[in-house]
Amino acid sequence: MSGDNTAVPPWQESIYQVLKNGGIRQVSYVPDAGHAHVIRRVLDDQEMRGIALTTEEEGVALACGAWLGGDRSVLLMQSSGVGNCINMMSLLQSCRIPFLTLVTMRGEHAEFNPWQVPMSKATQASMELMGIRVVRADRAEEVGEIVSAALDSAFEAGEQIAVLLSQKLIGRKKWTRN
C-alpha cells in the first residue's frame, strides 16, 4: 500500500476486502475522500483496475461493458454524483445488467456545504425510481456484511443495488480557509 501512515477505520478496509474476495476486477470512481482508502488499495492491487472518471455516469456505462466482457465492477461515488447518473441508469434496467454502487453520503450529519443537501435528500428515492434497490450502512460494524450481501445480490441474483454509506461513517467535514 502507498506510504500513508494515518489510521484507517476498519470498515473502510472491510469494503476493499469484500470487493477483492467478491471478484471485483474494475473499480470506477470520481475521486472522493470517503472512498480514498479503497481507491488507494485498488490502485495498489495488481489484480484490480481502478478507473478514474470525469463524471459518474461514465461508471454506469463502464459497469455494463465490464459485465458484457466477463468482469465484475463497482462504481464508487458521492451522493452528489447520483443525479448525474439517472439517465444512464435506464441502461441497467433495459439490459438487465447486474450493478453495484457504493455511495458516500453528503448533506446529512453536520454538513457544512448547503449545496450537498438537496441531492442527499433525493438520493435514495432517485435510485429507487430507476429500479435500483437501496440499502444503507449507518454503523461501522455493519458495513462489511452489508456490502458483501449487496455484492451477492448484484452478481449472484442479477440485481441493481446501491449501498449508501452514512455521512456519520465518514465523519464531519470542515470548511477550511487558507
Rounded CA-CA distance 130/91 in Å is 10
Q: Read off the amino acid at residue 73.
A: S
Ramachandran sector of residue 6 (left: φ over 0; alpha: ψ -120 to 50; beta: rest): beta
Whether the Cβ atoms of residue 104 and residue 171 lie closer than 8 Å to each other: no
Mind listing the pLDDT tens digit for each residue in 97-110?
999 999 998 756 66
Rounded CA-CA distance 106/82 in Å is 11
Question: Is 115 contained in some domain?
Answer: yes
Question: What CATH number is given to the structural domain containing 65?
Answer: 3.40.50.970
Question: Is 160 contained in some domain?
Answer: yes
Predicted confidence at residue 1, as pLDDT, reads 41
How many independent structural domains does the chain possess? Answer: 1
Question: Is 57 contained in some domain?
Answer: yes
Whether the Cβ atoms of residue 48 and residue 20 lie closer than 8 Å to each other: yes
Rounded CA-CA distance 25/46 in Å is 10
Percent pLDDT > 90 in the chain is 71
Rounded CA-CA distance 41/2 in Å is 8
Predicted confidence at residue 114, as pLDDT, reads 58
Rounded CA-CA distance 175/163 in Å is 26
20 pLDDT tier (thresholds 50, 70, 90): very high
CA angle 128, 31, 93 (to 5 degrees): 25
Predicted confidence at residue 170, as pLDDT, reads 79
Which cell is 139 given? 454503523
Q: pTM for the whole thing? A: 0.89
Question: Is 176 contained in some domain?
Answer: no
Question: Is 33 contained in some domain?
Answer: yes
Mind listing the pLDDT tens digit for each residue in 30-83?
998 889 999 999 999 999 999 999 999 999 999 999 999 999 999 999 988 898
Predicted confidence at residue 2, as pLDDT, reads 45
- The dihedral over CA atoms of 123, 127, 68, 152, expressed in degrees to the nearest 10, equals 90
Question: Is 53 contained in some domain?
Answer: yes
Mean pLDDT computed over every residue of the chain: 89
How many other C-beta atoms lie within 10 A of the C-beta of residue 117? 15
Mind listing the pLDDT tens digit for each residue in 146-159?
999 999 999 999 99
Question: Is 5 contained in some domain?
Answer: no
Domain assignment of residue 149, given as a range: 10-170
In this prediction, residues 148-171 reach a mean pLDDT of 93
Three-state SS at 171: coil
Highest mean pLDDT among 77-81, 94-98, 113-117, 122-126: 94-98
CA angle 15, 88, 121 (to 5 degrees): 65
Predicted confidence at residue 3, as pLDDT, reads 47
Question: Is 175 contained in some domain?
Answer: no
